[in-house]
Each structure stands twice: as C-alpha cells, then as structure tokens.
Chain A
Amino acid sequence: MINESIMTQAAIKIEHVSVILPGHLRALNDISVDLGQGRIIGLIGPSGAGKTTLIRCLVGRRRISAGSITIFGLKAGSAALRKQLSYMTQEISVYPDLTVEENLRYFAAMYGLPRAQVKSRVAAVLGTVDLAPQARQLVASLSGGQKQRASLAVALIGEPKLLVLDEPTVGLDPVLRDQLWGLFRKLASGGATLVISSHVMDEAERCDDLLLIRDGKLLAHGSPADLREQTHTQSVEQSFLKLVRAGGEA
C-alpha cells in the first residue's frame, strides 16, 4: 500500500504514533509513515478524523502518547526545530488589533530574523500573498480571505523548511486558492516541505503525497495517482469515499 519509490529522503519520520486523550479516547492510533523533503503532503479525512491532532504533534504542541516523530533528524517539538518550521492554525492566528505589517514585523523578530532583514522580508512576503496594499490596515478590518492570507504571510516570514498549514485555503475564492497552490508548489520546488490539511478534494489532487486519515488511523498513503489506481477510481474524491466506506465496514 505504501509507495516506496517516492521516498528519496525522509524529512518526517512518523513511527507508531498514538495519541490518547483524557477519557481513553484514541485521537491517533498507531500511525507510521515516512515523508519526503520538498514535497506537498496533503492530510485528508473527514472532520474529527485526527488531522489537527497529527498536525499539533508535528509542530510539537501536542504530546505523543506512544511512538515518535522525527523531523529533519530531530525529535518533534525540540527547540532546534523551532527555527525551521512554521505553523498556521485553523484560527486566524494573527493579532486582529495590529496592522498586517506590525504582525509580520513582530513574528519576524520572534523568529530571530536579523533586524536588517526584517524590512525587506516583510515587503517580500506581503508581495507573495498579494497584501501589499493592505499592509497598514488593521487585520480586524480585513475580509476573511485577506485575514487568511495575512496569517499565511506570517507562516512564510521566517523562510521555514517545513510549513505546517491547517486548512490554509478555507473560505478563499477559487482564483485565490489557485494562486496559493501555485505558491505552495513554488515553495516545494525551492526545497521546503509542506504539510497541508484540507477537505477540498480538488486540492488533494495537487498534493505529492496524501495521507488519508479516518478515526485516528492512517487508511491510505500515496500519491493521488496511487490512490486512484489502488481503488480503481477516476478521482481522489471517489477513492476517498471508497476508502472511507470500506474502512467503515472493516
């Protein structure tokens, strides 16, 4: 089921990871997978499947009950990794009562970006997410899509090697979504690894690897083409439905 050929260099090694929540609820159940560098990794699955839990384990915000996650050779959550990764939560994780630019400057300093680079880096990411005209507006006054892009801009500010984005394109119009996926592809070509959760299936088609999660278990892993082939379907959406339903019967 796992396609070995795509694994050139593992950026993320997930080994037998389980997360048990209070009340003995298993949020993640024995997940093991190796993920390559410079790839776009899509986390798909019904809501409540455990996508956000896995993401929080990757960025070190959630303690793993069993198993281990290694990122670039370091244990997930270790201090040395913090300079190399960025995390965009499902909430608009920026300060609404600051301007876009103030947010970016603040998070740039928190990443430890040298003072001299802050200005040019802020201007660069503002251009990347197409928010330069709104730089001096308070985030609270922006539209939903603009807020989302402001949050994404913060995720880009430190030029991280690993971007972990929890539903980054929710609520964006198709044109903007297409632009952002273009950006994700560009970042991946530059060597960055992206982990992106989504439940929009046409986005899943644009990932290099897909992890299909359901009830805390890894139902399937492979490229979109692999998944289609495995399930004898025409689209990731169909294979998703087929796998989820089959998983339900099992």
Chain B
Amino acid sequence: MSPRKTLVTAGRVLSQLRHDHRTIALILVVPCVLIWLLKYIFDGQPRVFNMAAPMMLGIFPLIMMFLITSIATLRERKTGTLDRLMTQPIHKLDLMLGYAIAFSLVGLVQASLVSFVALKFLGVNIAGHSLTLILFAVLAAFLGTALGLFVSAFATSEFQAVELIMPIIMPQVLLSGLFVARDQMSSLLEHISDFLPLTYSVDAMTQVTTHSGWTDNLTRDLIVVVGCALAALILGSATIRRQE
C-alpha cells in the first residue's frame, strides 16, 4: 500500500465530483432543506424535532454516500477503469481507502453545513458538543461509503445499485430508533437492531443531544461504527478481484 496512491485516488474522486456541480448541490443543499422541512413537520412538537434532527444527521450522510459510492464503483467496473487499475502496481486498499477518504471529506462538509443550519437557524439544542455531532456525521458518511463499496459488488447495473438501498439501508433506518425507540419495538426487532451499524450511528446522535460530556455509549458507538466500516472496506476489497 502507498499513502501517495491512496491520497491521489481520493483527490481524483473529489475532482470527479468537482466537475459535477449538480451533484455537489444535491449533496450539500438537499439535507439542509430536508432538516428545515422536518422542523415544520414537527411544528407542534418542537421537542420531538429536537431529538429527530440530530438523528437525521446520522442518517443523511450514510444514505447519500452509500448511493454515490455504489454507483461510482459500479462505473469503475463497467467502464474499464477498474480493469486498467487492477493491472497496475496499486493495492486494492489504495483504491478503497481513497474512496473512503474522499467521501468522508464530503461528509464533513455536508455535516458541518447541516449542523450549522440546524443549530443556528432551526433552534436545535444539543447538550453535547457540536464537534461530536459532526464527528459522528462524518463517521456515518464513512460507513455509507464502505457499505456502498462492498454492496456494489452485488449489483450488475446502476439500476440494481440504486435498488439495493431498499434491502440494505431502509431496514437499518426503520430499526435505528428514529421512528420508535428501540426498547419499544418487539424484542426480536430490538435484538436485530443490535446488529445493525446504523443503530449505533443514531444512538451516538441521541447521546450528543441528551448528554453534555463524552459517554461510554459514545465510545461503544464509535468503535462499532468504525469497526463495521473497516470490515465493509476489507470485504469490499475482497470483492474486487484482480483475476476473474
């Protein structure tokens, strides 16, 4: 592995985004608009909004980066660039980490902007530090990228890559505690949600909202989210084969 090749790959992925202004707008503006919309959906229940908005900050980056990454990697497979790269002196993880770094940086910009809007303009009030909030939003982006890289191996078309969001991401969102607190679900579902990484991303957001300092839960959430993302990256790297 080579730090230079990893960073140059991250730079390349960011350059591709830079040329695509509409995608940048969609990544940065849409989550802000949705959070704003959420405020008025919970017009009569400001306390619910105050809990839900940070949770969304753990979910948006994951969904967006998952989608973008799975399409981007599928394109690499389909357009011959992956063929070219796999015959070159690079390590597969250079490629994977390059993607992860690039999209985590995008996640950082997205999370900073959305947190700023939520905290400054929409009156969201969190007990913890806003940097902790942003940290976990970036980790959600990292997780989304890693899952996207892994899952794109199971899609043979861009159609399928988009459709995979339904079986892979939606159940995690439903069971994450966003709609109903996990301890109020049927115990089977609660146990299942213990095994889903997004649960920990959302839990971290709740922790930041309700606790002023760093908590043990946050440490656990951090370990689980980063661990799952790394596992997905390594599995994803195994799905890219040099020889077919």
Contact = CB atoms under 8 A, between A and B. Distances in A.
B186 interface: no
B89 interface: yes
B95 to A, nearest CB: 9
B242 interface: yes
A232 interface: no
B12 A106 contact: yes
B81 A94 contact: yes
A89 B77 CA distance: 12
Given A95-B16, A97-B16, A97-B20, A61 B80 contact: no
B80 A77 contact: no
B187 interface: no
B120 interface: no
B243 interface: yes
Contacts of A79: 89
Contacts of A99: 19
Contact of A61 (B78, B89, B243): B243
Mostly, the A contact residues are loop
Interface in A64-96: 77, 79, 82-83, 85-96
Contacts of A109: 4-5, 8
B77 to A, nearest CB: 11
Interface in B1-44: 2, 4-5, 8-9, 12, 15-16, 19-20
Contacts of B12: 95, 98, 102, 106
B244 interface: yes
A91 B242 CA distance: 18
Interface in A175-208: none
A77 B86 CA distance: 10
B189 interface: no
- Among A61, A87, A91, A110, which residue has the most Cβ atoms of chain B within 10 A? A110
B163 interface: no
A147 to B, nearest CB: 11
B16 A61 contact: no
A138 interface: yes
Contact of A98 (B8, B16, B83): B16
Given A61-B243, A62-B244, A112-B89, A154 B84 contact: yes
Contacts of B243: 60-63, 77
B89 A89 contact: no
Given A82-B89, A83-B89, A93 B83 contact: yes
Contacts of A59: 87
B7 to A, nearest CB: 9
Contact of A93 (B2, B19, B79, B89): B79
B174 interface: no
27 contacts: A56-B244, A60-B242, A62-B243, A62-B244, A77-B243, A82-B88, A83-B89, A85-B87, A89-B80, A89-B84, A90-B80, A92-B79, A92-B80, A95-B16, A95-B81, A97-B19, A98-B15, A99-B19, A106-B12, A107-B84, A107-B88, A109-B8, A110-B8, A110-B9, A112-B89, A138-B19, A158-B88
The 6 closest A-B pairs by CB, nearest first: A93-B80, A89-B80, A91-B80, A109-B8, A82-B89, A87-B87
Interface of A: 56, 59-63, 77, 79, 82-83, 85-99, 102, 106-107, 109-112, 115, 138, 154, 158
